[in-house]
Amino acid sequence: MKNVILLLAACAFTTASFAQTPETEVKVRDNGTKKIVTKTGKTNAGKALENTADAAGNVAEKAGEGIKKGYKKTKRAVKGTTQKAGKKTVKATEKMEAKSE
């Protein structure tokens, strides 16, 4: 059953990819000559695939930026906490040394 569905999906996609209708455009140059340009656009299936890929890329990029920002904030917090703890340790050590003398 799965093979039949995959085969039908492949056939539909292949058919849609060949269903492009070319558009012909006539451009007139500055010197008066004409140039015929034929464009073949993307099919609806092709556009949908491209839009899906773009959307997935955007989501991944935003997630990456969020992770990067979180990493930087955590790094700063850890650094600050470590420095505070280090200063407290030095002060406590100095107090202990002063008492013992």
pTM of the predicted model as reported, rounded to 2 decimal places: 0.39
Residue 1: band (very low, low, confident or very high) from pLDDT cuts 50, 70, 90: low
pLDDT digits (tens, 9 = 90+) for 10-51: 655 555 555 556 677 888 888 888 888 877 666 777 777 777
Please tell me whether residue 14 adopts helix, strand or coil conformation: helix
Residue 77: band (very low, low, confident or very high) from pLDDT cuts 50, 70, 90: very high
pLDDT confidence of residue 10: 63
pLDDT confidence of residue 85: 92
Query: Of 43, 9, 7, nearest to 51 (Cα)?
Result: 43
CA distance 101 to 95: 10
Residue 9: band (very low, low, confident or very high) from pLDDT cuts 50, 70, 90: low
CA distance 74 to 11: 51
pLDDT confidence of residue 75: 93
Sequence-ordered list of residues with C-beta below 8 angstroms from that of 21, at least 6 positions apart, any chain: 40, 41
Q: First vs last Cα of the chain: how many Å apart?
A: 87
Q: Percentage of residues in the chain with pLDDT exceeding 70?
A: 74
Token pair 């340009």 is found at 37
CA dihedral 88, 93, 96, 97 (to 10 degrees): -140
Please tell me whether residue 36 adopts helix, strand or coil conformation: strand
